[in-house]
């Protein structure tokens, strides 16, 4: 009789505890992930699914956030230092590359934060990686500069429109 290989079936997991910490990651959480080049900023992703096999290999399906400089067109004057774009780029990665959890706020909520921590980011655009397109393709612009608001820059009220 032939020997059967043990099943390496994958099973969905409810959570993953980051190695060496008590930080628990669940589907829906935003995380920072270790880049292969230690000179780069950590990558930011939203965990879509966590799965493991019978050998304790844990993988996460993630949806990547892009930084402006990683997008077609690059960083523009109105992009905030902590701005990210939620992309349509999905990937499966080893859970061991997760460094920690972070929070990606809506633009409105980010501008209301009293203190912006290292783990705080914001997103006001979705990004189509293949085409370089953005949704929405327009955002509100302000007065004379006709530029979207950059939360890192001090804005002064316009005498004309009071905006």
8 A C-beta contact, residue 64 and residue 87 = yes
The Cα–Cα gap between 158 and 139 comes to 19
Percent pLDDT > 70 in the chain is 79
Q: Is residue 112 part of a domain?
A: yes
Cα-trace Rg, the chain: 20
Q: What are phi and psi of 110, to 5 degrees?
A: -65, -40
Which helix (DSSP H) or strand (DSSP E) does residue 107 occupy?
A: helix 107-111
What CATH number does residue 47 fall under? 2.30.30.490
pLDDT, position 146: 59
The Cα–Cα gap between 45 and 102 comes to 9
**3-class secondary structure, 120:** strand
Q: How many domains are contained in the chain? A: 1
Residue with tokens 């804005």: 155
115 Cβ contact list (under 8 Å, min separation 6) = none
Stretches where the chain sits below pLDDT 50 are: none
Q: Is residue 98 part of a domain?
A: yes
Q: pTM of the entire structure?
A: 0.81
Q: Is residue 111 part of a domain?
A: yes
> Domain limits at 69?
11-148
Q: Is residue 81 part of a domain?
A: yes
Q: Is residue 118 part of a domain?
A: yes
The Cα–Cα gap between 86 and 65 comes to 5
Q: Is residue 34 part of a domain?
A: yes
8 A C-beta contact, residue 70 and residue 125 = no
pLDDT, tens digit (0-9, with 9 covering 90-100), for 13-58: 999 999 899 999 999 999 999 998 888 899 999 999 999 988 889 9
Count of Cβ atoms closer than 10 Å to residue 94 Cβ = 12
Q: Is residue 130 part of a domain?
A: yes
Q: Is residue 56 part of a domain?
A: yes
């Amino acid at each position: 009789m032939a020997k059967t290989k043990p099943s390496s079936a994958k099973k969905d997991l409810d959570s993953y505890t980051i190695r060496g910490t008590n930080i628990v990651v669940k589907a829906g959480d935003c995380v920072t992930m270790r880049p292969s080049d230690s000179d780069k900023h950590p990558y930011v992703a939203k965990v879509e699914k966590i799965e493991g096999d019978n050998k304790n290999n844990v993988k996460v399906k993630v949806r990547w956030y892009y930084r402006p400089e990683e997008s077609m067109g690059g960083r523009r004057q109105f992009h905030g230092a902590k701005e990210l774009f939620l992309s349509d780029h999905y990937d499966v990665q080893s859970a061991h590359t997760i460094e920690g959890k972070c929070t990606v706020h809506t633009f409105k909520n980010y501008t209301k934060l009293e203190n912006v921590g290292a783990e705080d980011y914001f997103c006001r655009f979705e990004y189509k990686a293949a085409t370089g397109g953005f949704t929405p393709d327009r955002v509100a612009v302000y007065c004379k500069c006709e530029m979207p608001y950059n939360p890192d820059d001090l804005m002064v009220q316009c005498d004309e429109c009071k905006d």
